Structure 1
């Protein structure tokens, strides 16, 4: 898993062969296939771990934030962006390589998007003045906006400051729910 995390985020999913993974992990091909059915299965495991760790960090931050809307919005968005970018490999796997891996990971990506969307819906659904008629679509749109901001961060030669990403996402969120 550790070798895959580094290789998928470095050379990329498409350039990472089973042989290269096994050499980096110092295991035989046979040992690899005893644990995983293929490269896609390993990518799913790496991606799912990244998502789970991120969901836990964001849920904790929201839970510890003061109960007002603005504090919860800022805590959730800031934690997501800073946690994901703390390790560029995580950001690249979660926001770029999962897409490059193709259709095989689409259900996992959709499940992750649903998890983040549900977290936003649950948080805002508990707050007064939440727009229940559009809550799901607005939450989904925010998740997409943040993902694209992070794709930009991963691909940019000159990375935008994290504060700018956070401020932009918060602005979009406030505009949508304000």
Structure 2
């Protein structure tokens, strides 16, 4: 239990928060670059410049730390996407395009975030299953709230179509993370928007083809 005594100008609570933040920062890089399974507690402690004992004052284990890193990535991404949607024109098409564009742009702005959210979350196994499902549900809810029951959507299927949209974007980003020659980000965005518009019957053909609706 932390006490209120000051040490080098910091209270015990502040020292604990500082160590926790240093571990989160170290894990953000190590889990993304070396991978979760290859990153030991000793390596994390060395990078964060804390003792093994101090580690367990902050987290119960590597799994607990991985969950915290993943959850922070998801929370930051949700905030960015929600803001982009809120600033877009009020029609559903514009808002969904803004949300998709911001999701892809924000996640890929830092490759570490992209790898943790779309690659290491799967490689880490069961420890992130519930957290990943909660993230998927959160992004699905954002799409549903934006869409409502759009004309062209199958009646009662908006949830399933929104869920499929989340899955499609995730797979596109996995391809971007793993590809030796990653596709241009604008191609990912165009493809994701095209999938959305085709799903809801608002785009007859692939962008650039005859009769298509331009982005």
Aligned residue number for residue 104 of structure 2: 81
- Counterpart residue number, 1:95: 118
Of 140, 154, 157, the residue aligned with 1:134 is 157
Shift of 1:128: 4.9
Note the aligned Cα RMSD (angstroms). Answer: 1.0
Q: Which stretch shifts more, 13-22 or 129-138?
A: 129-138
- Cα offset, 1:69, TM superposition: 2.2
- How many residues of Structure 1 are paired with residues of Structure 2 in the alignment? 177
Q: Report if aligned partners of 1:124, 1:130 keep a CA contact under 8 Å in 2.
A: no
* 1:38 and 2:61 correspond: yes
Q: Counterpart in 1 of 2:147?
A: 124
**1:129 counterpart SS class:** coil
Long gaps (5+) in structure 2: 1-23, 202-215
Give the structure-2-normalised TM-score.
Answer: 0.80
Please name the residue that 1:49 is paired with.
72
Whether the 8 Å CA contact 2:150–2:200 is kept in 1: the answer is no
Q: Which runs of 5+ in 1 are unaligned?
A: none
Q: Indicate yes or no: 2:28 matched with 1:5.
A: yes
Deviations 1:20-47 (A, max 9, x none): 1001111100000000000010000000
Cα deviation for residue 70 of structure 1 reads 2.0
For residues 80-139 of structure 1, what are the alpha-carbon distances to aligned partners after superposition, in whole Å with 9 as ceiling and x for unaligned? 0000000000000000001111111100000000000000000001x7526351101000
Q: Which ranges of 4 or more aligned residues in structure 1 deviate by more than 3 Å?
A: none
Structure number with bigger Rg: 2
Counterpart CA distance in 1 for 2:50 and 2:39 is 15
TM-score w.r.t. the length of structure 1 is 0.97
Q: Distance in 2 between matches of 1:170 and 1:128?
A: 16
